[in-house]
Chains A and B, each alone.
Chain A
């Protein structure tokens, strides 16, 4: 078995397609691959060196090893790891690649082991990428079986550790995927005479022993479960408190309900009922409201205070006072003071707990976008190994694996199509709803769905390098970043809770000293109301929850926003610079016009030009050849092909002499062009590149090619202008072509003939005009300009989504993404501001009213029960408002 150096497929040796070179035999899967190899053997040999399996032993006993290293945060970490590995004996070469997070090591297999290298990496403070497998084993009867299996497994290459447990009849094997897979591990066990079986149904607590990626996926579900459980617990707590609250309210206001004489204030029966209520309040406080106390105590120990502190203090104060009033009414000088507030405890606990439960529900919806993304990941892949099709968990797919995808299946990882073709639905990644046609050597993206044909592709990105994994990571990062607007909130929230406590204390004092009779009762009501009404959660939630929904919404539409700051800046933009090639246009020239003269037919002109250009490597030539192919014209082989630099090409086709080139070329051969020259100027004015063709020294026509404008560029630019943005085009092209394109798409300000390295400078010039500038470009050539701009939009190219220099990545190539991103950022910021206004307004208004500020003027004093209700629903309102963003639709 050997590898085809061109497509990487496994080929049965000896293959009927082979080629010998420098005494070495290369074998291929097909004639096609052999021909490709013959053209550029060095390229493929080099490639093969790089993409050989991740381990191999050479004839000198030197082992080559590639190990994934996790957690490299900086280039300097690389040195730490390399240094530590180099300490080992028998090391030939060590190279740690920061970008790919891989350590490439060559070592003498006799002197050092893989385990020692992994140990060295760990010693440097990093983890190697490894998977853990838990496998059930049947038929073990004694301790010696355990050692036997362990020993056998540990001898296998790629197994880092194996521990077999007789009690649970299972083994936990740490291994490096790519070296060994689950199937081989199972085989090892079965060869020893035991039965190995999958334990996919293992319990949740064992999941953390599984591979890293897997853990992530499972954790999401687990967190979901934990949230569901918490919701249910809170609902039970609410129902318990609410049910008990009913009789308590009934007996707390005997006059309101018009109860009979014996239940009225001052009667012994009512006092006994109140005493019972005081006892009944305990389970409500410590079961239904347990989180208030545990939260408050834990925070107190950390010298911090939160919502729990407020609620716990409030209800405790109410309970202590009420208990004294009920059990020892005589210690109060006036009978009126012996009132109780047990109802406040029941109702506040019930309402706040209900609010918390509803908040969990609403928050679950807010994070739906990321859950959807994580759910997109394929679970298994059908991989071709040693000529067999095997189904593997997607975590075990390694680079250069050949993967087979059938119609209707999910593509498991990113790669390059090597055999077959199909149309693929990429809407889940790019937001583009029309399926994309893919042929050989096209990129395919993991998690997209194969619609029509079967094909094979070579994995080029696996694990956390796939586009989907990068998207998830970017969205998570953005959701955990802070929008600048949050800074005010952070300042306030640090002081908020203690400030509320102080307000409550001072209100108590003021009411006690200056308030109406009975002062103590009023003071206490005010104290409890102030504590209960304050809602730090609404304040804290306002920004992050909207950011989460907004960023998630972007990802759903193929727009990746890097951070909260990017989102906030995007809505302030007033100038937008568009790169021409690849942004406004397709970036690929194509045939636009064929003009004939002197009685030649269009098919002659195009067919003969294409036949000549078939041998040329010029990018414009490809456009002409493709144009002819699209019209199904027959192409002939050209003889005596000759390229005249700066002029054009000449050749003989079917015995006819053809010149194809620019005006200079025509002048050189003194061709009479007639009115063709005039026509060519007009074409050039439209931004096209015209080429003259002569057949047997007679002018035959003009072929024009141009970089075509993307179908929706014009519309998108119009929308940007409508949004009040100044649109500028920047390009390295000559002024005439640039202006022509500018006119076609409706851009007046064109910066032409700008060298790539000067683009950033031009961005800066506009910024110096006091403008907030966005740059839209391809992320590779335009990286410095993207970084210089206030917001860099990178137009995505296939699977490279995490473009470093960009603030916002548009996965779909359309400029409409820019419009959408700006509209989304505006909508999100509006939402955040609404939330912040709501939260500040609520607290700013609620606190003084609760403190009784209105009482001296209009005689209004808030009941603690109303305060509890207001508090409970203020944070739910914030989350619900943020969820409105989920319905965001761009105005396109």
Chain B
């Protein structure tokens, strides 16, 4: 085996491990949303290739308002679905589309685009 082959093997394996770590195992940063005066937990979510922020922490029992702004025209993210609540919203590009929820039971609830390629998570504490 030539040195370049060994280099490629080591490099390839290292890169594979990094990909697995980065996409699967690395801890995602969650954003804790503070309730505003009046009790609404409100947040703006930018939609562009993904949801930013995509992991959100809320308090249970208080109204939640997610303001989605879709900053792209790609049709993938046109729909945002909350399958646990059978809720959906059509995101008009470059517009604030609010989705209101109130979750009483603590736990993790996902939201996603129409195809399930782009995902986010609501953590209720």
Tell whether A540 pairs with B49 under 8 Å between CB atoms, given A219-B90, A509-B12, A513-B1: no
CA distance A77 to B9 in the complex (A): 60
Contacts of B76 in A (CB 8 A): 295, 306, 537
Contacts of A501 in B (CB 8 A): 19
Query: From A306, which residue of chain B is reached at the shortest CB distance?
Result: B117
Interface contact tally, CB-CB below 8 A: 155
Contacts of B1 in A (CB 8 A): 513
- Among B13, B54, B95, contact of A302 (Cβ-Cβ < 8 Å): B54
- Are A360 and B117 closer than 8 Å at their CB atoms? no
8 Å CB contacts to B: which residues of A538-566? 540-541, 544, 563
- Are A126 and B51 closer than 8 Å at their CB atoms? no
- Are A512 and B86 closer than 8 Å at their CB atoms? no
- Are B63 and A227 closer than 8 Å at their CB atoms? no
CA distance A303 to B29 in the complex (A): 10
- Are A502 and B8 closer than 8 Å at their CB atoms? no
Q: Tell me, rounded to whole Å, the shortest Cβ–Cβ distance linking B7 to chain A.
A: 10
- Among B9, B61, B63, B114, contact of A509 (Cβ-Cβ < 8 Å): B9
Contacts of A77 in B (CB 8 A): 63, 102
A141 interface contact, C-beta 8 A: no
B20 interface contact, C-beta 8 A: yes
Contacts of B100 in A (CB 8 A): 71
Contacts of A477 in B (CB 8 A): 86-88
CA distance A307 to B73 in the complex (A): 16
- Are B72 and A223 closer than 8 Å at their CB atoms? no
CA distance A645 to B108 in the complex (A): 62
Prevailing SS type, chain A contact patch:
helix
- Are A303 and B117 closer than 8 Å at their CB atoms? no
Residue from B49, B51, B83 having most chain A Cβ neighbours under 10 A: B49
B30 interface contact, C-beta 8 A: no
- Are B86 and A480 closer than 8 Å at their CB atoms? yes
- Are A490 and B116 closer than 8 Å at their CB atoms? yes
A117-125, A239-247, A584-592, A662-670: which lies at the B interface? A117-125
Tell whether A295 pairs with B19 under 8 Å between CB atoms, given A125-B39, A304-B118: no
8 Å CB contacts to A: which residues of B12-48? 12-13, 15-16, 19-20, 22-24, 26, 28, 37-40, 48
Contacts of B26 in A (CB 8 A): 303
- Are A498 and B20 closer than 8 Å at their CB atoms? yes
Q: Tell me, rounded to whole Å, the shortest Cβ–Cβ distance linking A6 to chain B.
A: 40
Tell whether A73 pairs with B102 under 8 Å between CB atoms, given A363-B75, A493-B117: yes
Contacts of A222 in B (CB 8 A): 92
Q: Which residues of A contact B (CB under 8 A)?
A: 71, 73-74, 76-77, 80, 122-126, 208, 219-220, 222-223, 226-227, 229-230, 233, 291, 294-299, 301-308, 356, 359-360, 363, 476-482, 486, 489-490, 493-495, 497-498, 501-502, 505-506, 508-509, 512-513, 536-537, 540-541, 544, 563
Taking A222-B92, A302-B51 as known contacts, 11 extra A-B pairs with beta carbons closer than 8 A to each other, sorted by chain A number, are A76-B61, A126-B63, A233-B73, A294-B48, A294-B72, A302-B28, A302-B54, A307-B117, A356-B75, A509-B12, A513-B5
Task: List 23 A–B pairs whose Cβ atoms lie within 8 Å, in order of A's numbering.
Answer: A77-B102, A123-B38, A222-B92, A226-B93, A227-B78, A295-B76, A296-B49, A298-B49, A303-B23, A303-B26, A303-B28, A304-B50, A304-B119, A308-B49, A356-B74, A356-B75, A363-B75, A489-B116, A495-B24, A498-B24, A501-B19, A509-B9, A537-B115
Which 9 pairs between the two chains have the least Cβ-Cβ distance? A298-B49, A540-B115, A480-B88, A509-B12, A302-B50, A125-B63, A498-B23, A295-B49, A477-B86
Q: Which residues of B contact A (CB under 8 A)?
A: 1, 5, 8-9, 12-13, 15-16, 19-20, 22-24, 26, 28, 37-40, 48-52, 54, 61-63, 72-76, 78-79, 81-83, 86-88, 90, 92-93, 95-96, 100-102, 104, 114-119
